[in-house]
Amino acid sequence: MEEEVPHLMVVPYSAQGHMIPALVLASRLAGLDFEVSYVCHDFRLEQVKREAKARACNPHIKFQTLKKNFPSKEQQESSSGHDSMELMGWAFGFHPEDGVELKELISAANPPISCIITDNLLASWAQDVADELNIPRIIFYPSPGMALAFHFYVKNMLHQNKLPVRVQELVRIPGIDSAGLSPLSSDQVIDLILETVPKVMRDFYVTNAVRDHEAAGVMCNTFAAIEEEACIAVSENPQINPNKVPFVDIGPLLPDSYFAEDNACEDYDKVECLAWLDEQPTASVVYISFGSFARANRKQIEELALGLEASEKRFLWVLHNGAEELLPEGFLERATTNKTGMAVRKWAPQLLVLSHRAVGGFMTHCGWNSTMESLSRGVPMITMPFYGEQRGNARIIVEHLGIGVGLAKDGKDGLITRIAFEQAFRAVIDEGELVRSKAAQVKQAARAAFKVSPRKIKDLINKVLESNRSRQTGLQFKFF
């Protein structure tokens, strides 16, 4: 009898920075000849399909949606594809009703689901679904290995009464010492465990972190060449991973063609900003984007803009969620007249931008996807982290890998001054030989990791499925 192809169901957390890499994972799984379903909220489907096209995803992915649990119309409002504060407020909560609906989807699936691969932020109900239906659950972790090591270590901290953590308290993650990154200040790991964070948010994070220890495996969007210690700590350190949840580093999760020498694969309609980039000198433009959600306040945007102007560097700046209104008067008009800068008001074709020869640096909020996208194309970064584990990511970029320039905050009011911005822009565009050469090395390492990623994914899935089969057989013997 011909053996049935395993059917895997990928369920991301409902935010762009989680849905996009999960989509690339689904595509890679389909390329490995698994049957693959990708489940998102119904109101996200259009967006997801657009990204699937832009990232040339495998056409065999089956898209399915959760329809019952919806944010309100106002919460759904997002500007030009970017997520609003209201939408993220909705997403950041326990949604067990999604679990009920997911169970229905799994039960109705044909061929039957062999395994679910769900985001770490869904553990509180996704693990129950897996247990009830007797199928394994693999965690998809879209952030760095360092954050995953901490995520797993949270259970240990909870048992030692070390939670919540005071602001600026130092956190030492076992096994992560010599990379020069440990100890980290509390907000550099995951700021959600801080005592200043509302209890409901802390509980959400901690509950998911604790339940993730019950998973059958964990896949992380990183690669050992840039995070060796974290990868070893997660796979081997009993203080972090006492249940020995099988771990694999599968990054960078990016489209195949992103690693071709001069082409990224996005298939957006011809957009204005790319035509503008075509006219700029090589490595002269700073691309500025804070991802799908983060936004700086008026004072900070003003300092940034004035620092940019003083540096006389060219720029392409993604301005969304009303950020444009916060710019100093006449700033954009002057840049447009002088042909030195351009604003992108919609969702930017980021992979194409980072692949463009005119882009010499990326000012980023250090979201992990943006970080992986930048380092995979050898583009040096200017780090401007906001929340989550972004401050820790900035340390990885600047201190550990040396592929970016940091921005010091002014002690008085915690702002980054225009002078700091001006210096950073000059440092990356005019004096960036060292960061550029290190970025070129990391790019090669990313490419090497990308090549072995499919085999690693396949090995983990097979291991998890095999161990589930043995468990089921064991259960049957016990029963009879």
The CB-of-376 to ligand UDP minimum distance in angstroms stands at 11
Q: Which residues contact 60 (CB under 8 A, 6 or more apart)?
A: 30, 35, 36
Q: Binding segment for ligand UDP among 91-99, 114-122, 287-295, 428-436 (CB under 6 A)?
A: 287-295
Q: Is 222 in the site for ligand UDP (CB under 6 A)?
A: no
Q: Is 388 left (phi over 0), alpha (psi -120 to 50) or beta?
A: left
Question: With contact defined as beta carbons under 8 Å apart, do 321 and 297 qualify?
Answer: no
Residue 294 near ligand UDP by CB under 6 A: yes
296 in contact with ligand UDP (CB under 6 A): no
Sequence-distant (6+) residues with CB within 8 A of 8 are 29, 34, 35, 36, 37, 113, 114, 115, 116, 117, 461
Using CB under 6 A, pick the residue from 120, 289, 311, 383 that binds ligand UDP: 289
> Considering only 16-24, 323-331, 403-411, 417-425, which stretch makes contact with ligand UDP by CB under 6 A?
16-24
Per CB under 6 A, does 292 bind ligand UDP? Answer: yes
Q: Rounded to whole angstroms, how far apart are CA atoms 145 and 215? A: 17
- The residue among 369 and 423 lying less far from ligand UDP, judged by its C-beta, is 369
Q: Is 258 exposed, middle or buried (0-12, 13-18, 19+ CB in 10 A)?
A: buried
CB of 353 to ligand UDP, least distance (A): 8
Strand partners, 11: 118
Cβ proximity of 127 and 94 under 8 Å: no
221/247 Cα distance (integer angstroms): 11
Residue 56 or 163 with smaller CB distance to ligand UDP:
56
Give the interface segment with ligand UDP, choosing from 12-20, 131-139, 240-248, 280-288 (CB under 6 A): 12-20
State the minimum distance, in angstroms, from the CB of residue 291 to ligand UDP.
Answer: 3
Does 291 engage in binding with ligand UDP (CB under 6 A)? yes
Calculate the alpha carbon distances from 473 to 135, 388, 478 in Å.
13, 42, 9
Per the structure block, which two tokens stand in for 32? 């490995």
HSE-CB for 51 with a 13 A CA cutoff: 27
- Comparison of 34 and 141: residue with beta carbon closer to ligand UDP: 141
For the CB of residue 390, give the shortest distance to ligand UDP in the complex, in Å.
8
Considering only 67-75, 84-92, 194-202, 347-355, which stretch makes contact with ligand UDP by CB under 6 A?
347-355
Residue 277 vs 306, nearer CB to ligand UDP: 277
- DSSP letters along 64-111, please? EEE-S----HHHH--STTPPPHHHHHHHSS--HHHHHHHHHHHHH-SS
What's the closest the beta carbon of residue 245 comes to ligand UDP, in angstroms?
23
Rounded to a whole number of angstroms, the minimum distance from the CB of residue 374 to ligand UDP is 9
Number of residues that bind ligand UDP (CB under 6 A): 17
Q: Closest CB to ligand UDP among 310 and 326?
A: 326
Amino acid, single-letter form, for residue 27: S
CB of 19 to ligand UDP, least distance (A): 9
Direct distance between the N- and C-terminal alpha carbons of the chain, in angstroms, rounded to an integer? 26
* Nearest residue to the partner ligand UDP, using Cβ: 17
Residues 364-423 that bind ligand UDP (CB under 6 A): 367-370, 373
**Long-range contacts of 171-174, Cβ-Cβ distance < 8 Å, separation of 24 or more:** 173/146, 173/149, 173/233, 173/240, 174/233, 174/237, 174/239, 174/240
Judged by CB under 6 A, which of 13, 38, 125, 293 binds ligand UDP?
293
* CB of residue 12 to ligand UDP, shortest distance in Å: 11
For Cα atoms 173, 178, 182, give the angle at the middle one, nearest 5 degrees. Answer: 40
Per CB under 6 A, the segment of 56-64, 291-299, 400-408, 463-471 that binds ligand UDP is 291-299
Q: What is the C-alpha separation between 191 and 273, in angstroms, rounded?
A: 35
Beta-carbon contacts of 162 under 8 Å, excluding residues fewer than 6 positions away, are: none
Residue 336 backbone phi and psi in degrees, to 5: -65, -45
Which pair of tokens denotes residue 93?
A: 């909560």
User: Could you give the strand order of the β-sheet that contains 7-11, starting from the edge strand earlier in sequence?
Assistant: 62-66, 35-41, 7-11, 113-119, 137-141, 217-220, 247-249
- Under the binding rule (CB under 6 A), the answer on residue 246 touching ligand UDP is no
Site string for ligand UDP, 354-373 (x = CB under 6 A): -------------xxxx--x
Closest distance to ligand UDP from the beta carbon of 312 (Å): 25
Stretch that binds ligand UDP, among 13-21, 171-179, 393-401, 405-413 (CB under 6 A): 13-21
Q: Least Å distance between CB 267 and ligand UDP?
A: 13
Query: What are the residues facing 140 on neighbouring strands?
Result: 119, 219
Half-sphere exposure of 331 (CA within 13 A, CB side): 23
Among positions 10, 12, 14, 17, the unique one binding ligand UDP when judged by CB under 6 A = 17
Cβ of residue 459: shortest distance to ligand UDP, in angstroms?
26
In the set 8, 10, 20, 216, which binds ligand UDP (CB under 6 A)? 20
Rank residues 318 and 420 by Cβ distance to ligand UDP and give the closer one: 318
Residues that bind ligand UDP (CB under 6 A): 16-17, 20, 289, 291-294, 318, 347-348, 350, 367-370, 373
